[in-house]
Chain A
Amino acid sequence: MTERLTRYGPFLLALIALVAPLLAPNDYVIGVLARICLYALLALGLNIVVGFAGLLDLGFVAFFGIGSYVYAFLASPHFGLHLPFAAVMLVIIFTAAGSGVLIGAPTLRLRGDYLAIVTLGFGEITYICLVNLDRPVNITGGPNGLLSIDPPSFLGFVIDHNIEYYYLFLLTLGLVVLLSRRLRDSRIGWAWRAIREDEIAAEAMGVNTTMAKLQAFAVGASIAGFAGGLLASWQRSVFPDNFLLQESINILAMVILGGLGSVLGAILGAVAIVSLPEIFRDFALYRLLAFGLILILVMILRPQGLLAPRSGARRSAETK
């Protein structure tokens, strides 16, 4: 049963994802679906850092923010720049990867809880910068954020409906799933997981842990940055409050709920955490209560997450 689930699950999920917006009753629901894809991207990014490499990052939303603001800087009237969408996204990938390395480097020697606290600090610092860097020179627009951001456009075709955004996000998600899996089953992925399991043994087996950790931070950050760029292009505006600590926690909850290190799990986690509050919207006040209860229940019943990472039982057959 579980074997079939892991074999056909991804295809089934892809099929559902492809037809979902066509069956959606209204545009609002399509918007929620788009948001699920965006958060699934974030969850996949964090899954690389926390799930694969075991580096507990509580400030992950910072990279989401950096991506969004870089997009706004390069494609809005704020600085009068209107670079093409593809160019902006390319810049974002490298800026976010760079900031991942910058933030990662000083934390290399830290483990577990200590790493969590320091990354939490970085997340907060990023937020404070976004709020306050409107004086003396207006860079971020302060608490009012940046407005009138350019939508994505490809060769003159401008994206401006939720359903178009949805397919753009879904396409990105598909790509990131592919890349995640390639990384997981590569020498880099083995090194990450070895570090997560036992850093000292990993070092003794020749793993350059400094390099591997920086790679994890960089790859995770560039995925989050990319998602940030997509967010900015979709909202057509960005605000510091898009990047609160609460978001980092939500993303972490998706990864843990799905099963640390599981690619499909991270996506299921995003589906659950974005959609549950929507489903319980009618219950008004009890919405968050019900949401919290469900999370607690899942974690009690399945402490390893909805989908524990595949044991690799068939993985080597795949890689042969």
Chain B
Amino acid sequence: MSLLEVIGLRKNFGGIQAVRGFDIAIEERQIVCLIGPNGSGKTTIFNLITGLIPATAGRVIIDGRRDIIGRKPHAITAMGVARTFQNQRLFNHMTLLENVLVGCARSAKAGLASILLGLPGARAEKLQMIERARSLLALFGERLLPQADDLAGSLSYANRRRLEIARALATEPRLLLLDEPAAGMNPTESRELMTDILRVRDRGVAILLIEHDMTVVRGISDRVVALDYGVKIADGDFAEIRRHPKVIEAYLGRGTVDA
């Protein structure tokens, strides 16, 4: 039984068919890369899976039984799917720690009354959350933790990407969707990111990531899925995908698969 199963997913924006019957299955602890030329529908698939936009048709099933189509984003997050955004959507006027705390709070129980009254239960829960948020920042070594109390808006580009990952992990996902995490990173930073992603997987999280940097794709993916015009054109390991005629055709003239 797959962790995530997407069946016949479709999305039309008016006349544009952004996703045209997409299928994928992801197993526990797998790292799957989603590649495809610009505008091929990769981000749209993420938006559909996380419930940010409604699907035109199709099913998205978690654990082989729960269809998440039609559910609200926060309910989907509660089922163990978290994500980062291609255009970075951090809470800029909140501290790094607070950004992560927003995710940690998902499973918090303290009600309005116990918070207002400052009951011991609410306090203890908050301390636990802060502890957990710090340990998530610590996943990135000295990159984030020393700046825990700075505003997220003050972070460097690469650190912003790292914080997005830490924040998503705070919701305790079993599947993490990363939308171009290496975009804008230099080769050293990309390499570091790869080990970070592998470490996240070792915590028991499956990862579906969109990536243009073929070094990264080759370096970490168990499987690669290629997309063109909203349709899956290939699915296999990196070596197969790289030689796949349809993939080569999709990228010809629009950029090349070189790695």
Give the B-binding residues of A (Cβ under 8 A).
Answer: 179, 182-183, 185-188, 190-191, 193-194, 197-198, 200-209, 215, 219, 309, 311-317, 319-320
Bound complex: CA of A312 vs CA of B95, how far in Å?
A: 7
Besides A315-B149, A316-B95, 14 more A-B contacts (Cβ < 8 Å) are A182-B116, A183-B116, A197-B90, A197-B93, A200-B52, A200-B73, A203-B77, A204-B52, A206-B105, A206-B171, A207-B74, A207-B102, A312-B149, A312-B151
B97 on the interface (CB 8 Å rule)?
yes
Complex formed: what's the CA distance from A203 to B115 in Å?
22
> Once the chains bind, are B126 and A203 in contact (CB under 8 Å)?
no
Contacting residue for B73 out of A204, A311, A319, CB 8 A: A204
Question: Which residues of the other chain, A, contact B94 by a CB distance below 8 angstroms?
Answer: 190, 193-194, 197, 312
Contacts of A317 in B (CB 8 A): 149
Query: Does any Cβ of A come within 8 Å of B180's Cβ?
Result: no
Contact A206 B91 (CB under 8 A): no
Give the distance to chain B from A207, nearest Cβ to Cβ, in Å. Answer: 6
Assess the A190–B95 pair: CB atoms within 8 A.
no
Which B residues lie within 8 Å of A186 (CB)?
110, 115, 122, 126
Instruction: Identify 6 residue pairs between A and B in the complex whose beta-carbon atoms are under 8 Å apart, listed by A's number.
Output: A179-B116, A190-B102, A191-B105, A197-B92, A202-B102, A204-B83
Residue B161 at the chain A interface, CB threshold 8 Å: no
**Assuming the A-B contacts A204-B82, A206-B77, A319-B130, are A190 and B106 also in contact, with contact meaning beta carbons closer than 8 angstroms in the complex?**
no
Assembled-state Cα–Cα distance A187/B100 (Å) = 11
Is there contact, CB below 8 Å, between B52 and A203? yes
User: Which of B73, B89, B105 contacts A190, CB < 8 Å?
Assistant: B105
What is the minimal beta-carbon distance from B110 to any residue of chain A, in angstroms?
7
Which of B106, B112, B115, B149 sits near A205, CB closer than 8 Å? B106
A198 to B102 alpha-carbon distance, docked (Å)? 12
> Is the beta-carbon distance between A187 and B108 smaller than 8 angstroms?
yes
Contact B77 A205 (CB under 8 A): yes
B102 touches A194 (CB 8 A): yes
Interface string of B150-173 (1 = CB under 8 A from A): 110000000000000001101100
Residue pair B130, A316 in contact (C-beta under 8 Å): yes
- Residue among A186, A198, A209, A311 with the highest chain B CB neighbour number at 10 A: A186
Contact in complex: B98, A193 (CB < 8 Å): yes
Separation of A209 and B105 alpha carbons in the complex (Å): 13
A-B interface, 6 closest residue pairs, ranked by CB to CB distance from nearest: A206-B106, A187-B105, A201-B89, A197-B91, A206-B77, A203-B73
B85 at the interface (CB under 8 A from A): yes
Indicate the member of A204, A314, A317, A320 with the most B CB atoms within 10 Å. A204
The distance in angstroms between the C-alpha atoms of A103 and B177, with both chains bound, is 37
B72 contacts which chain A residues (CB < 8 A)?
Answer: 203, 208
- B171 & A205 in contact (Cβ 8 Å cutoff): yes
A38 to B211 Cα, complex, angstroms: 56
A182 to B167, CA, bound (A): 23
CA distance A136 to B148 in the complex (A): 62
- List chain B residues, Cβ under 8 A from A312: 94-95, 97-98, 149, 151
Q: Which residue of B lies closest to A210 (CB)?
A: B72
B53 to chain A, nearest CB (A): 10
Assembly CA distance A183 to B118 (angstroms):
10
Measured in the bound complex, the distance between the Cα atoms of B112 and A202 in whole Å is: 19
A100 to B172, CA, bound (A): 33
B91 (CB) vs chain A CBs: closest residue: A197
B103 at the A interface (CB under 8 A): yes
B95: contacting residue among A201, A208, A311, CB under 8 A? A311
B40 interface hit (Cβ, 8 Å): no
A201 to B129, CA, bound (A): 19
Which A residues are in CB contact (< 8 Å) with B103?
205-206
The smallest beta-carbon distance between A179 and chain B, in angstroms, is: 5
Q: Which residue in chain B gives the minimum CB-CB distance to A311?
A: B151
Q: Which of B73, B115, B171 contacts A188 (CB 8 A)?
A: B115
Please report the C-alpha to C-alpha distance between residue A316 and residue B137 in the assembled complex, in whole angstroms.
Answer: 14
The 0/1 profile, CB within 8 Å of A marked 1, for residues 63-102 of chain B is 0000000001110011000110100011111110110011
Q: Which residues of A contact B221 (CB under 8 A)?
A: none
A320 touches B110 (CB 8 A): no
CB distance from A172 to the nearest CB of B (A): 14
Cα distance A186–B162 in the bound complex, in angstroms: 24
The answer for the CA separation of A32 and B46 in the assembled complex, in Å, is 57
Min C-beta distance of A248 to chain B, whole Å: 25
Which of A191, A316, A317 has the largest count of B CB atoms less than 10 A from its CB? A316
CB distance from B128 to the nearest CB of A (A): 11
A183's nearest neighbour on chain B, judged by CB, is: B115
Alpha-carbon distance between A267 and B32 when the two chains are bound, in angstroms: 53
- Find out whether the CB atom of A205 lies under 8 angstroms from the CB atom of B102: yes
Residues from chain B with a CB closer than 8 A to the CB of A187 are 101, 105, 108, 110, 115, 126, 129
| CB closest residue in chain B, given A309 | B93
Residue of B nearest to A194 (CB): B102
